[in-house]
Structure formats: structure tokens, C-alpha cells
Amino acid sequence: MPRRSFDVTSVTHANPIPAVSRVGPLVMSSIIPSRNPGDGNVPEDVRAQLDNLFHHAGEMLAAAGADWRHVVKMTFYLPSLDLRAELNDPWVAHFPDPDARPARHTQLSSGRAAQCDFVAYVDD
């Protein structure tokens, strides 16, 4: 199966890597920064950073022909693990069914801003 790469308008990379890549039903993102769509600045407010992450991930999923129901796992990199509670609100908003949520891993980031990546599987 050929690999297809996709870029999105809300996030661009300085290096020659795509925002998201798809091989058959498997969809994987590159690292997703918490920069504002449009101006590229990282907001100080962690909640705004998390909103940006979900915005960018949604654009990447759509570009690859997927949506939130296809997400199998998301990994979040937070500047403090104390921020996991902040992550729960947008998490539940995007995955409201407790019996159908993707796996999630949260770890400490090496920087001051939140980041994430995802794996999705499109079988329809």
C-alpha cells in the first residue's frame, strides 16, 4: 500500500515532514504543537494550548480521511503532570462515551508547552 502524506493549514513544520501520514487504514500524526492557528504563537494559558492541540488534531484527521471516532490512542506531553486534570475536559468533550474512548498516555514534556500525537485506524 502506498503511503500518503498530508499537511494542514493550522500547523506547518520547518522540516520536510508532513503533519500526518496514512498507509492503508493506519493514520499517524507527527508531533502536534500547541501553537495558535494562524499566528503560530504558543499561548501562555494551558487550556488554550490544549484547545489548539485538539483543533490541529481534528484538521489532521480530516485531511487523512478520518475523524475522532477513528482515534485509537493519543499521547500528550505536558509541562507538568499536574495538568492532567485540565486535559480531562477537552478529552471528554471529544470522546464522550466512556465505553468507546481511545487509549491515552500522558507524560512530562521537555518544554514549557503542551504537545501531542495520535494513532488512528480507518476501517470504513
Here the CATH number for the domain that contains residue 48 is: 3.30.1330.40
Share of the chain above pLDDT 70, in %: 100
Share of the chain above pLDDT 90, in %: 87
Query: From the CB of residue 49, how many other CB atoms can be counted at a distance below 10 Å?
Result: 24
- Assess whether pLDDT exceeds 80 at residue 118: yes
Question: Which cell numbers in the block locate residue 17?
Answer: 515532514
Average pLDDT over residues 41-55: 96
Give 97's contacts (C-beta < 8 A, 6+ positions apart): none
As a whole number, the mean pLDDT across the chain is: 95
The number of CA neighbours under 13 Å toward the Cβ of 8 is 22
Q: How confident is the model at residue 35 (pLDDT cuts 50, 70, 90)?
A: very high
- Assess whether pLDDT exceeds 80 at residue 76: yes
Separation of alpha carbons 104 and 98, rounded Å:
13
Number of domains in the chain: 1
Domain span at residue 21 reads 3-121
Separation of alpha carbons 83 and 80, rounded Å:
6
